[in-house]
């Protein structure tokens, strides 16, 4: 009696499973780079005259991530009056919002390039 065997050859699933960590690693590097970029930009370009230097020195950027799920970049100030610097006089002394505007286009472009490299395009 003849026997019949069936072989499945699935190259797609392993490739996709390997792809996500590569993309995540590429994105992770870009976010780490822009953590420094954002913090430097904020501290360098904060438009107020320093009294104590605490407001400028208290500007930070932080990259948080849930691997394979989400990456976020938070720009923040540690002084209690940081919020008012952002808002007072219609944002005359704002730096957090303008920093986001400043870095977002370059960051988006770098992320797109990094993902393209990760997927081999």
Partner 1 sequence: MRALVRSAIIDDLGLSALGIVDDAAFAVDVDTPVQRPFIQLRWGRNDPGLDRVTRRNLVIWVHDNPGDYTVHIDPIILRLRTLLAGLEGMSNGLGHVVAVEWTGDSEDLSDDGHRTITRTTSFQLVGSGQ
- Residue 57 as a binder of partner 1 (CB under 8 A): the answer is no
> Which residue do the tokens 């303008």 mark?
98
Least distance to partner 1 from the beta carbon of 22, Å? 30
CB atoms near residue 36 (< 10 Å): 11
CA–chain centroid gap for 29, Å, is 9
- Any idea of the CA torsion for 85, 87, 92, 95, to the nearest 10 degrees? 60
How many residues lie near partner 1 (CB under 8 A)? Answer: 12
In the shown chain, the binding pattern of residues 17 to 56 toward partner 1, with x for contact by CB under 8 A and - for none, equals: ----------------------------------------
- Residue 89 as a binder of partner 1 (CB under 8 A): the answer is yes
Which window, 8-16, 25-33, 70-78, 93-101, contacts partner 1 (CB under 8 A)?
93-101
> Which stretches of the chain are assigned E, i.e. beta strand?
59-66, 70-77
Return d(Cα 108, Cα 94) in angstroms, integer.
22
User: What residues line the site for partner 1 (CB under 8 A)?
Assistant: 84, 87-92, 97-98, 101-102, 105
């Amino acid at each position: 009696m003849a026997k019949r065997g069936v072989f499945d050859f699935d190259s797609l699933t392993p490739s996709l499973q390997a792809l996500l960590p590569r993309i995540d690693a590429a994105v992770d590097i870009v976010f780490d780079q822009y953590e420094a970029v954002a913090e430097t930009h904020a501290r360098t370009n904060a438009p107020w005259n320093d009294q104590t230097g605490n407001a400028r020195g208290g500007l930070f950027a932080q990259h948080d991530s849930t691997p394979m799920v989400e990456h976020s970049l938070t720009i923040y100030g540690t002084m209690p009056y940081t919020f008012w610097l952002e808002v007072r006089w219609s944002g005359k002394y704002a730096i957090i919002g303008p920093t986001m505007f400043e870095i977002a286009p370059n960051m988006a472009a770098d992320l797109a390039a990094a993902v393209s490299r990760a997927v081999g395009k």
